[in-house]
Structure 1
Amino acid sequence: MFRINFSFFTVTSKASLFLLVGLFTFSFCSGQSRGGRGLVSFGPSSGLADDTLYLDINQDIAVQLMPFDDIMKVAVSHSPLIKYQNEVSNSLSSSYEVAKRQILQNVAGFVNYSTGDQSIVSSGSASIPGRDALGQISNGYRVGVDVRLPLYDLFGRKHQVKQAYSNYKASVIQRDVVELQLKQSLIGIYQDMITTQQLLKINLIDEQASLTALRVAEVEIQKGRTTADALALITSRYVQAKTASEQVKGNFLKNVHYFEALVGMPIQRLKRN
């Protein structure tokens, strides 16, 4: 929760009241920590353990973070959706390569070794009467290739290859679609984060002014210079301003965490060096 530091002065006149308002300065912090360079810790107020976000509320987010194009590159490299789509594309690319070479399954080679009684070689005759011709084959190795070409491969294989290639190209295009959707989501969250930061700065100014008026009214009622109704009205105005700033702060923190989830990296690592 934001804590607003203020100084307390005793008001003696209307002129002092204006001087008091002019002298008030405010700083915003959450939890118990504030950096030496004006960095504000939002993490403890979000209720998340070990989650501390250091940003300078008075400096635009777009100035504190690296350029959007660089952030988009980081998001693409870390996005699980895009990683998944890359794996799908790799799988379909392999399927396409297999489809192109599938015709080789109809080609088979063989090697064997046969033995005989050398009768063909010794007699010089193709066969000897009364002897088994198979037993007259000379010893040695035989090597050959068996090629079979089914009609399906002859007329359908080119369509199968085309289908595999189309599936692969579709997966590549789908990756581009996922990347475009990621960019659209990132642009929306990035702009919402910038907008809520500006609203937060405005609401914090309003909250501080309302708190200043409340402190002055508390001093005035102690001195009998104002009424309880006036104090109640000023208190109600401060409560409204505080409520509005807390709501805007919550929206700002949600946008920051959504942004981190889309990019896949803590916002501290996205800040400019």
Structure 2
Amino acid sequence: MRFHLFQLNKILICRISLLFVVGVFAVTVCHGQNRSARGLVSFGASSGLADDTLYLDINQDVAVQLLPFDDIMKVAVAHSPLVKYQNEVANSLNEGYEIAKVQILQNVAGFGNYSTGNQILISSGGTTLPGQGTLGQIANGYRVGVDVRLPLYELFGRKHQVRQAQSNYKAAVHQKEVVELQLKRDLIGIYQDMITTQQLLKILLIDEQASLTAMRVGEVEIQKGQITADAMASTTSRYVQAKTASEQAKGNFLKNVHYFEALVGMPIQRLRRN
């Protein structure tokens, strides 16, 4: 009879312990992340940064939550200060090219005037035409004309100056393409790093939860004398290592997200799919 009671108590203890483990694992939430009603995880509060709350679904890939990469690249090009600067440089050199093409006109000048009153031209000479006196009057009225001067530089140097201005403009356009290409390479790198660190964070959060559950069970078992202090210390150390790894992964993930936002020039919340 005592043997059966002992077996029954042992079975009840095992079932209670198993239910306790399952219950702790079910309600355990990784310390340092807060899940909102919409199932999104807030990392800002856990990082200790004010007004720096990032809402993302940690269980869903970032690439699925955000816009397609080509659309993100267009946003980055539109907001990049380097691209804007290079675009203004290209526009300036294009204007210089247009000026160089018409600069030859600075050697052409027009003039016009209007005169009134008598303007007597006194002429002298021994021979005069029949019926013409020694004095003649210049008719009054408008006078217009064009003055054209063509230096040798315009004949031999102007075409080279125009070509130089055109080449400078084309070089600026190509430099803009280089800047956009470099921006795309940087964005691809940060984008992939962000995806990788998110996947690593998901794995480490699972490990942290399992380690925390094991530590909670160990706290109950050591109170009952079922495990030694060394075993409890080992379980606690395992949780600390898992927690440290998850916090480092969380920091790397947040860092990549902020780098990504800086390159795109827009908060990540505005890049989410509708």
TM-score (ref. length: structure 2):
0.86
In the alignment, is the contact (CA less than 8 A) between 1:207 and 1:241 conserved in 2? yes
Using a 3 Å threshold, how does the CA distance of structure 1 residues 195 and 14 change in structure 2: closer, same or farther? farther
Q: Which residue of 2 aligns with 1:99?
A: 100
Alignment partner, residue 69 of structure 2: 68
- 1:219 Cα offset (Å): 0.6
Pairwise CA distance, 1:20: 4.4
Instruction: Give the superposition deviation at 1:143.
Output: 0.3
Alignment of 1:32-181 (within 5 A): 34-117=35-118, 128-129=133-134, 131=135, 136-181=137-182
1:233-248 paired onto structure 2 within 5 Å: 233-248=234-249
Find the aligned partners of 2:225 and 2:89 in 1 and give their Cα distance: 77
Matched-pair contact (CA < 8 Å) for 2:197–2:252: yes
Q: Is the 8 A contact 2:21 2:217 kept in 1?
A: no
Aligned partners of 1:13 and 1:202: how far apart in 2?
Answer: 32
Q: For residue 234 of structure 1, report the CA deviation from its aligned partner.
A: 0.9
Q: How does 1:203-222 map to 2 (within 5 A)?
A: 203-222=204-223
2:42 touches 2:56 (CA, 8 Å); kept in 1?
Answer: yes
Please, what is the CA RMSD of the aligned residues? 2.4
Q: Distance in 2 between matches of 1:126 and 1:191?
A: 102
Question: What secondary structure does 2:169 align onto?
Answer: helix
CA distance in 1, matches of 2:210, 2:130: 122
Q: Which runs of 5 or more residues in structure 1 are unaligned?
A: 1-10
- Answer yes or no: is the 8 Å Cα contact 1:110–1:143 preserved in 2: yes
- Runs of 4+ aligned residues of structure 1 deviating over 6 Å after TM superposition are 124-127
Unaligned runs of 5+ in 2: 1-10, 122-128
User: 8 Å contact 2:76–2:265 — kept in the other structure?
Assistant: yes
Helix, strand or coil: the match of 2:113? Answer: strand
**Pairs within 5 Å for 1:19-34:** 20-23=20-23, 24-25=25-26, 26-28=28-30, 30=32, 34=35
Tell me the equivalent position of 2:3. Answer: none
Match of 1:223 in 2: 224
Aligned to 1:5: none
Note if contact 1:214-1:238 (Cα within 8 Å) is conserved in structure 2: yes
CA change 1:113–1:223 in 2 (3 A) is: same
Q: What is the distance in 2 between the residues matched to 1:128 and 1:52?
A: 103
How far is the alpha carbon of 1:249 from its aligned partner? 0.4
* Structure of higher CA gyration radius: 2
C-alpha contact 2:30 2:208 (8 A) present in aligned 1: no
TM-score (norm 1): 0.86
The whole-number CA distance in structure 1 between the counterparts of 2:171 and 2:16 is 73
Q: Distance in 2 between matches of 1:262 and 1:139?
A: 73
Secondary structure of 1:145's match? strand
Corresponding residue pairs, total:
255
Separation of aligned partners in 2, 1:62 and 1:118: 89
Q: Which amino acid aligns with 1:243?
A: T
